[in-house]
Amino acid sequence: MPKRTINDLRARVEAGPPYAHAFLAALRYDPRTGARELYGACMRQIRRQAAHWREELQALTFERAAKEQGFVRIAGVDEAGRGPLAGPIVAAAVVLGHPIDGLNDSKQVAPAERGLFFELLYNGPHAIGVSVVSPAEIDRVGIQSANYAAMYRAVAQLAPPPDYLLVDGFEIAGCPIPQCRIVKGDCRSQSIAAASIVAKVTRDRIMDELDGQFPQYGFAQHKGYATSEHLEAIERCGACPHHRKSFAPFARPLETGLLFPEPDEDSYSCAH
């Protein structure tokens, strides 16, 4: 039987693993340099796949731990827009119907990919709750209370309600549902990553709409954050109705970042 051509072998390698043991052995001991190079490519593909599987398993560690304790409906919770000078806080709560390949923290995903994940989430067997807290409410109750309210209301949108929460960064004050604060949870839990995507895309779209109403501020570019361009626009035009008047430079902030310290470990209420 004639030997397979290098092009035929390359096509099989590029199709990806799993590779038959006999195929790998044939490549490894083939006298042709091109075939042996393809053996190296196979090994790299196998290592990449193994690393991907490890990441997927790690991304569901908290969900599996909660299920082992008897919880059934586990929601990831995250927010977007805590720090900007304009626009709302948006929180999302997501109960995944199944894992989603490649899903990660919204900050680590390109905008186009965020949009694709957003559509996958809304068109799949996933439960999603979203809450939007306006700048006026932020000014009235303060950023800390507004942040808690946004998350609490997002959770309340889920029906049936979840019986366990995985929350990015801190616990939701006043929420009676058992919960786990996970440090950098949007990178470590797919449920929280899903909530991060939903909250971020929802808020970005709101800011894009506001840009159409108030083009002088450039909301579509900076999404309300305190960039130099945004601060210059405020200096030039003053505040619009969607600016947070309790935030600098409009007023001295009554609440600071110390209200949301970066915890150095996960909360002890987590399922183990």
pLDDT in tens, 220-262: 999 999 999 999 999 999 999 999 999 988 875 444 444 445 5
Average pLDDT, the chain: 87
pTM of the model: 0.74
Fold classification of 61-259 is Nucleotidyltransferase; domain 5 (3.30.420)
The answer, yes or no, to whether the previous bond of 18 is cis (omega within 30 of 0) is yes
CA distance 66 to 164: 8
Could you report the per-residue pLDDT of 4-22, keeping only the tens digit for each? Answer: 898 889 998 888 888 888 8
Q: What residue ranges of the chain are covered by domains with CATH 3.30.420.10?
A: 61-259
CA distance 72 to 225: 38
What is the pLDDT confidence band of residue 75, given thresholds at 50, 70 and 90?
A: very high
Nearest Cα neighbor of 253 from 133, 138, 148 is: 138
**Residues 266, 182 contacting (CB under 8 angstroms):** yes
| Residue partners of 172: CB distance under 8 A and separation at least 6 | 77, 148, 151, 152, 155, 165, 179
Output the pLDDT for position 259: 43
b/e burial code for range 156-171 (CB count within 10 A of at least 16 → b): eebeeebebbbbbbbb
